[in-house]
Each structure stands twice: as C-alpha cells, then as structure tokens.
Amino acid sequence: MSRIVVALLFGGKSPEHEISIISAKAVAAHLDKEKYTLFPLYISRKGDWYEGNTAQSILDLDLAGLLRTTSIEKTASLLHSMTGNRDRDRFRFDFKQKDIGLALPVLHGSYGEDGKVQGLLEVFGIPYTGCDVQASAVAMDKEMSKICAAAAGLDVAEYMAVSSSDYVSDPESVHDAINERFSVPFFVKPAHLGSSVGISKVSDISVLPKALDTACRLDSKVLVETAINGREMEVAVLGNDKLVASPAGEIEPGGDFYDYTDKYISGTARLHIPAKIDPNLHASLKTSAIRAYKALGCSGMARVDFFVEEENDRIIFNEINTIPGFTDISMYPMLMEASGISFSELIDKLLLLALEKYSR
C-alpha cells in the first residue's frame, strides 16, 4: 500500500510564526514515515508559500535554541534571508499534482488557526486535520468563544470588547469606560491571537494606555478581562464524534502570568500533569471541556483552558485553541500522553480523523 503524502503547513503570517515552526519540527519528527510521506510547506510572514529545500531547511532549524540565544527580530531576519530568490521552491498550489492526500496545518494564530487556510484546503478538496472553517473562526475570536461557552452554561470572566478603531479615534472615552467597569488587576489582550502574544496585565491604571496600544497594534478587536484569582487548568480533547478528554493539567507560571517568554523561551513555568486536584473537580473539568468543544462545533482536536477559583473551585472558561502548540514542552501532546496516547499515535489519530471527517 502506497504511503499518503501529508502536507505539513507551518510558518504563517501571524506573530506566532516562530512557534509554528517549532511545533512543525516536533510533528515532523513524530510522523510515521512507514505510513506517510512528509511534504513540508513553509508560509513566510509575507504569505508566500515554499516547498522543497527551502521548506525543509527552515523545518530543520533549531529555532527553539535560537529564540533562547538571540532576539525575535534577528530570528525573523534569518528566516527572511532563507527565502530570498527562491522562486524555484515556490509552491504553485498544485496539491493534486504533488499527490498530496492530507494536510496537517500547524499554523498558530491568524491566517492559519482562524478558518482561512481551512477554507482554502476545502476549495482544493484536501482533507485536513483539526476543526472546520466555522469552528476555527469562532474559536479564534475570544469574545465569540466566550459567548458560545456561556450559552452552553459555562461560567466566563467579566470582560469588555473594544474596537481598535474606536480606541484610536477616541482613546480617552475607552479609558473612561474601562475605569468605570474594572478594578485592577485586569488583562488587556488581542481578541484573535494566541501564545499570549500582545497580552498585558494591568496592575496599575497608569499602564493602561500602553497595554491598549500594544494590543490594538496587533488586532482589530481587543478584550479587557478581569483577573481571576485562581489556578490555570487545561484539558486536551481529541475526536470528531467519539471524544477523548485528557486529564486536566495545571500550569504554575514562572512569572506574574503565563506569558510568551514563560511558554517558549525561559521555560520557568511548572506543569503538573495530572493536576493535583480533587477527583470530583477533575471530572468536572473534563465534562466542561467536552461541553465547550461541542458548543463551538469543534472536530479533530482542541485544548480548552480554564481558571479554577481558589476560594470555591468554581470553573471559569478562559479560551479554546483549535491548533494548540505541538512543541516538546506543549501541554496538548503531554496531556494526550497522560491519556495513554503517545505523540506519534496522536499525529496518526489526527490524520485518520481528518480522513473520517472528509469521507462524510
């Protein structure tokens, strides 16, 4: 039986570009080479697609090591230099001519996790892993995901959505509205980004303008959200109809909160898998994760993030990630491993779920 050609899509136009490359490298290492043929497809920050030696050379980089020893700007410059004058390796969207039978997008954030690439693959008739266009788009919008979760009976933190254009045109009115509604500490975050990119914790109201400026430069919509005094819990969900929910894992941040540096560079956060919590709370977290997954219409996979309030163990839905991190220190593959599914088995199951969904 011939091996299925799997297009591994990585890079992308979002601020999570480098994390996507690191995730893709880990996925490639765990792909069953006896069943599948890897076809790397690198998408540059400008949105150009590359195959062949260009894509493979970027996939081979030790980007995690580079991020620990140099700046993101220098890393971005290196990646840009590796695609210069590489017209021979530009991908011409000839999926069928390349015998591509499956796509595995490992694209975090906008232009990858938000339904855009999923829609493109559907136009070309290529089965792909993860959620469909609608679920991807809804889950990517932090406000819409909270609306869906709340409609399904889950608790959400108090929040306020701010249009970036409204903020730019009248920042004082936005400042006043936030001051009237929220007491410090609270968070300001882009509505459509992940990996904690652009998130600020406002513990002093004087830093609010800087926090809003940072988030509004990155996104058209920003969320202001009250800070929860609680523990951070995550549950991995796998499946289309028959769902597997992992044990809950707890994140103990190395700093004030679990930010980009803590996740991917310093590695000072402590991860507890399974979380050291009461069995009843554990069961409730798994039930809540499946409820959120179904409410948003997810398929394939997602990681569901919660807060658990310290004083009463109330579970509060935070967000859902339809293409969670797949680095060696990412929670989703580690949570699945705690469920008895190894990294390699996980990749295989995701590809089989993609074929199952497409066959319908």
Strands 221-226, 200-202: pairing is: unpaired
Tokens of 253: 């941040």
Strands 100-105, 4-11: pairing is: parallel
> Any idea how long the chain is?
360
Question: CA separation (Å) from 272 to 234, 306, 320?
Answer: 10, 15, 19
Complete DSSP assignment for 99-165:
TEEEEEE---STTTSSSHHHHHHHHTT--BSS--HHHHHHHHSHHHHHHHHHHTT-EE--EEEEEHH
142 close to 223: Cβ distance less than 8 angstroms: yes
Tokens of 280: 């009843």
Q: Which residues are catalytic?
A: 73, 195, 264, 303, 305, 319, 321, 325
Q: Is 147 exposed, middle or buried (0-12, 13-18, 19+ CB in 10 A)?
A: middle
Helix, strand, coil % (nearest 5) of the chain? 40, 25, 35
